[in-house]
Amino acid sequence: MPRKNLAWVIVCIAVTVFVWTAARGGLIPPRGPMQFLKEFYSADKDYDNLALMIDVMQYVDMNYVKTLKPEERRKFIEAAIQAGLRSLDPNSSFMNPQEYSLFKKQAEGKFGGVGVQIVVNRETKRVTVISPILGSPAFRAGIKPGDEIETINGEKISELNDDDVVGRIAGAPGTTVTLTIRRRGTGRRMELTLTREEIHTEAILGDVRDTQQKWDFLADKENRLGYVRITSFGNNALDELTQAFKTLENEKVQGLVVDLRNNPGGSLDVSVKMADMLLNEGEIVRVEGRTHDTRIHVAQQEGTFFAGERKIPIVVLINENSASASEILASALQDHKRATIIGERSFGKGSVQRLYPIESGASRLRLTTSTYIRPSGKNIHKFPDSKENDDWGVIPDIEAKLSPAEELDWLLARRDRDILRDEEINRLEMAEKTAVLMGPMSIYPGISGTMHLFTGLAELNLTLPNLIRTSKPYQDKILDKAFEYLRNQIKKGKTT
């Protein structure tokens, strides 16, 4: 071989060995091309951490007791990403393609599932129901706010992350899922097998329906008092609320109740536009973040309802499950003295999550980037170290709270008004009322076994049949307080 060619061969071998060694990061452990990240901008501060993740993954890949399948490798990486994001705050997360697809369907107002909104309880770390979606399989089965989901198809919740929980409950319409539910207040467990449906969510509801099964938003005909329930802040909510307000203006409404109880929130843009519908000027909310300028959303005069000569008193109802977008709307109306807030202190979720496309847009990174600030300058978010006397959430102008038994009655009565109920659901409700009434007796020796027997009999419709078949008219005392407040305000206005 000519010396020239031999020299080229030696050079090529030397270069190959050098590149291979550099790319491997030395002989222990293998890091592949990670070494070259050091040359990129700001990568030096992240290289060691990223290399650590690669080291762990490659050791698992080479030495774990069994060979990981591709889907198991993917799950390993997703779990690591999810855990890292959740260490930042409870609201940052990663959505894989399947989860992002479900998220989009929920935002559009329709998706396949059982229709239940869930959250991880701050104190217990358990998966807790915020609210079943009205008319959904979960709603018809009697699942209630505050119920805890313990297993999904026999798999313990404690072994799943939040997104796994959502992914396992959702699914194609017509398929089934079995949930073990622990009843709030009584501790009673129920195993429910639900058939998934395409969930169409109504965002704006009234108190009762008319003869055409449409919502009648004029709740008090004599005093011309309107009532709207905002159950979500999705894409369809704004159009529905606009139509409801137009109907009430045509009915010459004299006062309005906006009910945000058990509303977990939704789109920032939708909540801002809803506040703009009731405010003709002034700041609605301020969004402050680290990487962008402060954004201030301001109300416009155009498109304002119940203003000028048509101005009417407004009451907003909130409770401890009113969160996020609900708190933006309530606080804006409160700070501008456009509405009186009645109820109990809200949840305190004042952080903004932005979606970043990754994996060519198939997945999304949901990252907390900003916080909400009220028009008054007060904070909304309840931080882990926040105290009761700190500024967070929305504190009502008039406090009104239901006891656990009253809350149960309210939820049952509310569901009665929302759908036509069958005998099976009535029997389950009777069992719950029995459990609530007799639950405290379980603290006495010898009573617990009797209580469970009695509850079981109630579920079988073998006791108190008359009570099962007849339901007492229920008055929502929080709503009654709101209506009474509006009547007094109307009388004062007429006197003036």
Closest CA to 118 of 150, 75, 96, 95: 150
Choice among 335, 409, 418, 476 that is catalytic? 335
Active-site position among 92, 259, 346, 349: 349
Report the alpha-carbon distance of residue 249 to residue 309 in Å, rounded. Answer: 12
Catalytically annotated residue among 324, 346, 363, 370 = 324
Q: State how far the Cα of 418 lies from the Cα of 201, in Å rounded to an integer.
A: 13
Give yes or no: 335 in active site. Answer: yes
Task: List the beta bridge partners of residue 208.
Answer: 216
Q: Which of 233, 277, 283, 235 is nearest to 256 (CA)?
A: 277
Report the distance separating Cα 179 and Cα 270, nearest Å.
Answer: 32
Active site residue 401: no
Instruction: Answer yes or no: 349 catalytic.
Output: yes
Cα-based angle 196, 421, 483 (whole degrees, multiple of 5): 110
Give me the active site residues, please: 324, 335, 349
